[in-house]
Amino acid sequence: MTTSTAATAGPSDLFRRGLRMLIDKDIPAWVGLWDDQGVLEFPFAPDGWPKRLTGKAAVADYMRHYPDHIDLHDFPDVKIHETGDAGTIVVEMRGVGLVVSTGEPFDMTYIAVVTVAGGLITHYRDYWNPLAVSAGGATDFTRGDR
């Protein structure tokens, strides 16, 4: 199997590599897939949760405690749709695992619109279901008291 270098990785390859990094809990490597000025948006984020993060440093800060709250095991249903823009994909996926503090199952369905340029993520819109988690609850890795 041939692997792409970061500079030549297409959006689908880069995205799949990123999912593997999340399962491996390698957040620094996942953040390394981001452009320095990359934007991460959450159009459905509830009040009190971030709606937009600008820059790799903001993405890193947001994600740094993710594995302490959500233990991802798999993305069993990943469907990547190409768009008319060679750098943009639309992804339907499901993440499954455990909520670390309770041991309860974690099962979230996502739609993501991801744009890649120069082998790095430049824009990621994450349409996750805010009704599946509660602000301040066990899955809230965005809390200030983390």
- Contact between 35 and 56 (Cβ < 8 Å): yes
Q: What is the mean pLDDT of residues 106-120?
A: 96
Residue type present at position 57: A
DSSP class per residue in 92-145: EEEEEEEETTT--EEEEEEEEEEEEETTEEEEEEEEE-GGGS-TTSTT-TT-TT
Among 20-24, 107-111, 127-131, the range scoring the smallest mean pLDDT is 127-131
pTM over 0.95: no
Among 6-10, 51-55, 132-136, 141-145, the range scoring the smallest mean pLDDT is 141-145
Tokens standing for 75?
């993305």
Write down the pLDDT at residue 8. Answer: 60
How far, in Å, are 34, 35, 119, 144 from residue 7 at the CA level?
12, 11, 4, 35
Tokens 């991460």 map to which residue? 40
Average model confidence (pLDDT) across the chain: 88
